[in-house]
């Protein structure tokens, strides 16, 4: 570790200019704070948090649609725990449940499918959020439901994929990033190849890494090595877990069940091809088609800077609401709700 820190110092001195690196994954954001990585970085290196928190980028429209479905008397809405407090246009799923909506927290979509099989008088809808890490399990659940002809089960897909979001960031004139710390969990599924455009189109050094302090620092050092040599490549600092081709079986299940679609990222906007919708063969399990939920059409809070924070244009302390009008106990934006949200991490670890 000592040698690695010395190399970090030497490389930053050799490069001798300000560098902005983006950690894409929300788990990286939390672990960087927890391990105190920012405190040991040379002064010319800053870390920005990217759009890698699935809760944070789930749109008001999707939250409202889930609430609309949950309020139907014949439905049970199942979701991951982090989604319960995300503000919609007028309320959250937790507030809807307090008013009588049947909203339940489960940690696996397979548990939701079991509930549908046990409670056949109810329509069970899984609010499917997340990136490539969680989407294969949800795809496998839909495949199982189809094979077993479970007619009272469906999903509301708010899935998103990471590579198109990175492309959208780099195409934005106000986003300035010198290199990417790529997500370990997502990369276990998709591998390294989907990131190659970062090099071929944008010449951005990029490294997939793990979540321990030494792994994170190694990833940063590997990026600096590339910058010092004026090179750009997608490298793997997490070889025990991430392979070049990722997990082909998981990718095959995804391709069988889902197809790409445009998706709205909260605070960012519509990103072409960044969402996942059920293919026509499995459209019977699409809750949006089945229930045609109503939404409020309410826009995001004007003073909330969550979108700029997710794009790396601002840090949380530059938001006018941070720590005053927006806290973990009373969140205005989703970046303060999720345990992986940038604002929640800044607040928890004393950056306010």
Nearest partner of 249 among 140, 110, 104, judged by Cα: 140
List pLDDT tens digits, range 27-86: 999 999 989 998 899 999 999 999 988 889 999 999 999 999 999 999 999 999 889 999
pLDDT at 2 over 90: no
Rounded alpha-carbon distances, angstroms, from residue 196 to 44, 278, 310, 330: 27, 26, 22, 40
pLDDT at 203 over 90: yes
List pLDDT tens digits, range 86-112: 989 889 999 999 999 999 999 899 999
Region 6-35: mean pLDDT is 92
- Place 351 in a pLDDT band, splitting at 50, 70 and 90: low
List pLDDT tens digits, range 185-199: 999 999 999 999 999
Q: Where are the beta strands (DSSP E) in 83-139?
A: 103-105, 123-130
Q: What are the tokens at 263?
A: 């998706």
Q: Report, in angstroms and rounded to the nearest whole number, the Rg of the chain calculated over CA atoms.
A: 21
| Residues 6+ positions from 331 with CB-CB distance below 8 Å | 85, 87, 337
Rounded Cα distance, 236 and 187, in Å: 10
Q: What are the tokens at 31?
A: 């672990």
- Place 228 in a pLDDT band, splitting at 50, 70 and 90: very high
DSSP secondary-structure letter at 122?
A: S
List pLDDT tens digits, range 263-313: 999 878 899 999 999 999 999 999 999 999 988 777 788 788 988 999 888
pLDDT at 352 over 70: no
Domains of the chain as residue ranges with CATH: 2-47+163-236 (3.40.50.11750), 56-161+246-291 (3.40.50.11740), 306-348 (no CATH)
């Amino acid at each position: 570790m000592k040698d690695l820190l010395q190399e970090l110092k030497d490389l930053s001195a050799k490069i001798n200019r300000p560098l902005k690196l983006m950690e894409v994954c929300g788990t990286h954001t939390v672990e960087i704070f927890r391990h105190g990585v920012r405190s040991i970085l040379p002064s010319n290196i800053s870390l920005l948090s990217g759009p890698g928190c699935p809760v944070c980028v789930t749109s008001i429209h999707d939250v409202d649609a889930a609430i609309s479905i949950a309020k139907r008397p014949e439905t049970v809405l199942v979701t991951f725990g982090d989604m319960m407090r995300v503000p919609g246009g007028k309320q959250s799923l937790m507030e809807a449940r307090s008013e009588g909506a049947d909203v339940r927290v489960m940690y696996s979509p397979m548990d939701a499918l079991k509930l549908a099989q046990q409670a056949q008088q109810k329509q069970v809808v899984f609010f499917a959020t997340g990136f490539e890490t969680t989407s294969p399990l949800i795809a496998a659940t839909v495949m199982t439901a189809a094979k077993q002809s479970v007619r009272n089960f469906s999903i509301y897909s708010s899935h998103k994929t990471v590579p198109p979001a990175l492309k959208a960031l780099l195409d934005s004139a106000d986003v300035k990033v010198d290199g990417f710390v790529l997500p370990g969990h997502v990369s276990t599924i998709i591998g390294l190849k989907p990131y190659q455009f970062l090099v071929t189109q944008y010449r951005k050094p990029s490294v997939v890494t793990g979540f321990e302090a030494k792994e994170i620092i190694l990833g940063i050092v590997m990026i600096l090595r590339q910058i010092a040599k004026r090179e750009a490549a997608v490298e793997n600092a997490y070889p025990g877990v991430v392979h070049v081709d990722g997990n082909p079986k998981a990718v095959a299940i995804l391709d069988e069940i889902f197809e790409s679609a445009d998706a709205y990222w909260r605070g960012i906007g519509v990103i072409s091809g960044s969402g996942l919708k059920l293919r026509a063969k499995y459209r019977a399990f699409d809750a949006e088609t089945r229930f045609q939920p109503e939404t409020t059409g309410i826009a995001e809070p004007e003073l909330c800077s969550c979108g700029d924070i997710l794009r790396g244009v601002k840090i949380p302390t530059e938001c006018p609401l941070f720590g005053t009008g927006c806290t973990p106990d009373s969140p205005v934006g989703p970046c303060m709700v999720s345990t992986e949200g940038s604002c929640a991490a800044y607040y928890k670890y004393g950056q306010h």
